[in-house]
Structure 1
Amino acid sequence: MAMDTTKLHLPRTVATAVINKVADTSTIAALSPASPQIFTDKEFMIFNGKSEADVTAEGQKKSSYEQDLSFVAGKRFKVQTTTRVTSELKWADEDNRLAIIESIQNDQAKAIGRALDYVVYHAVNPKTGARIDGFDALCDQCEQVTAGDDDITNVDALADALNDTYDINGIAMSKVWASRLRKLRVPATGMRFYPEIPLNLQPGSLDGITAATSGTVNGRLAAEPTNVLAIMGDFSLIQWGMVRDITAEVIPYGDPDQSGVDLKANNQIAYRTEAMFGYAILDPKGFAVLKEAGE
């Protein structure tokens, strides 16, 4: 009888394949540069220049104007993500260079970045999809534009809601709306109306202004649909930064996620990534949001 490989104890190896699904990113981080933040109750003093030159005749009494100052209080929030693995998985990863733990931590860091959009745009906890008490969503405070059937007109309607008062320097788009814009064609020639939107829906610009696309714009993880298609405005009006930088730690003991399962008793360890953000929206009216008409 011929000998076959089922009778042999062959050494085993594992090949790790990381599937790079499209990951949502923070559009705020892409459109508004971060500024340093510290752990303090920070207020931003807002100066809106109101002066206009007064033409005066010779000997005429000179006029003056009143200048008001307003204040905006900053907000802080901590975000974290915790992943449990078995101790054996950690050993296999270390001995065989499977890169599983590295992939977990990279995935956690991306989730931390996405949380900034969810909190600022929607006041939503991305883990649960629920609204966060004590936070105001930018999409509820800014200029509201209801989407019509013509998406070219929708782009213009967003700009018209702001152009008379504010400078527009960016647009954050949902992937749904970016896909719709990419498919628009000029009737006479068949050319794409917005050729700057590629197949991966990640344009660097749209109609001359900086653009970013993400599922965070429409709040894909929100428990209740937001109906948001895009947010346009002066993104320098969002002041944000890290109060504490992203940190990663290994937790070998206890019950870090309050699941009722002790790590050590079950041969598990946990990997946790966390950070603290600080942000303030200096003027919500410097933004316009495009929303689908509610049912």
Structure 2
Amino acid sequence: MALESTKVTLPSNVALAITKKAKDTSTIAALSPSTPQLFLDDKFMVFSGQSEAEVVAEGQKKGSYEQTLTPIVGKRFKVVTTTRINEELKWADDDAKLQIIDSIQSDQAAAMGRALDYVVFHGLDPKSKTELEGYSKLRDTAIQVNAKDDDVSSLDALAEAVSDEYDINGIALSKTWAASLRKLRVPATGMRLYPEIPINLQVGGLDGIPASTSGTVNGRLCTTDTNVLAFLGDFSLIKWGMVRNITSEIIEYGDPDGVGQDLKHYGQIAYRTQAVYSYTVLDPQGIAVLKKAA
């Protein structure tokens, strides 16, 4: 049976699998204290603050507590990934289709995960390498910390910069700074000073806090050097999720990704997956960014 050239909504279990795979390619998702989930409301997503509780003695008159809350609306952006494959795969049987879908899911979910970091950290479209209009950059709105003469002092300055209102529960490292920190040794023993620093996206540790390393932190795809070495702070302030529906379609004709190659002419079909993210940063001042000298 041939694959149909129609757009389909992926089942919720498949869509959830994509969301979880995105976690493996995004430092934001990796350091989020909560498990990424699909947001059922596809109209809007609102994040509001939390009021404080009043402690009163038994029988004591209860005072009033009022707090003006300004809802923060999540910023939406659509991610599209298009994969060209040989048209012979149209006639694959059902078992082969499942394997094809799983492989494409893994590849496209990785791209979706990287897109989350690029949009939130740098306001960048990773495919075109152009800045997105109307999107703030966490690298500019977070607390700015200049790198010191040595890495230990830089780490201390980064931690001191975060407001005492927030907990430090994560650090996203550029690959460059992660490598530099891993080279630090204890003079007396020669052991690594920070042995748990990850050199891949798997979450490790740094001074007892979760740490994740990726080229998305400094913006490897950015056309100009961002000078970013790391983000540290309360990553629970970054609220994000995928908004249903996640759709996929098989495209058999035309030039869907604008590369100047007609699908029919080259004997190809294209597999396109689309998803919509929504995110917000509740308070950028709960996160500090370390930058090297320009």
**1:24-70 CA distances to partner (integer Å, 9 max, x unpaired)?**
820111111324423223332224649899xxxxxxxx998863323
CA deviations 1:218-261 (Å, max 9, x no partner) are 11011121111110111111111110364443211233224454
What per-residue deviation string (whole Å, max 9, x for no partner) do you get for residues 134-182 of structure 1? Answer: 1101111110101112111111111101152211111111111111110
1:39 is aligned with what amino acid?
A: D
Is the contact made by 1:50 and 1:67 (CA closer than 8 Å) also made in structure 2?
no
Q: Give the alignment of 1:74-93 within 5 angstroms.
A: 74-88=74-88, 90=89
Q: Distance in 2 between matches of 1:244 and 1:40?
A: 10
Separation in 1, partners of 2:139, 2:280: 14
Alignment of structure 1 residues 177-256 onto 2, 5 Å: 177-197=177-197, 202-244=202-244, 246-256=246-256
Aligned equivalent of 1:41: 44
Q: 1:49 to 1:158 in 2, by over 3 A?
A: farther
**In 1, distance between residues paired with 2:184 and 2:86?**
50
Cα separation, partners in 2 of 1:184 and 1:81, compared to 1, 3 Å: same
Q: Larger Cα Rg: Structure 1 or Structure 2?
A: 1
Secondary structure of the residue that 2:240 maps to in structure 1?
strand
- Where is the helix percentage greater, Structure 1 or Structure 2? 2
Q: How many residues align?
A: 259
What value does the CA root-mean-square deviation take over the aligned residues?
3.0
Task: Return the offset for 1:83.
Answer: 2.5
Which digits, 9 at most, give the CA deviation of each residue in 1:74-128, with x for residues without a partner? 111110111223425x37988xx8x888655532221111100000111001111
Letter in 2 for 1:275: A
Give the Cα separation in 2 of the matches to 1:201 and 1:212.
6
* Distance in 1 between residues matched to 2:117 and 2:203, nearest whole Å: 18
Give unmatched runs, 5+ long, in structure 1: 1-23, 54-61
Deviation at 1:209, TM superposition (A): 0.8
AA at the equivalent of 2:117: D
2:48 partner SS: strand
Amino acid across the alignment from 1:81: T
Q: TM-score, normalised by structure 2?
A: 0.77
| Separation (CA, whole Å) in 2 of partners of 1:138 and 1:27 | 13
Q: Give the C-alpha shift of residue 287 in structure 1.
A: 0.3
Change (3 A) 1:211 1:255: same
The TM-score, its normalising length taken from structure 1, stands at: 0.77
Q: CA deviation at 1:190?
A: 1.6
Relative to structure 1, the CA distance from residue 188 to residue 147 in structure 2 (aligned partners, 3 Å threshold; closer, same or farther) is same
Other-structure match for 1:17: none
1:142 aligns with 2:142: yes
CA contact (8 A) 1:174 1:218 kept: yes
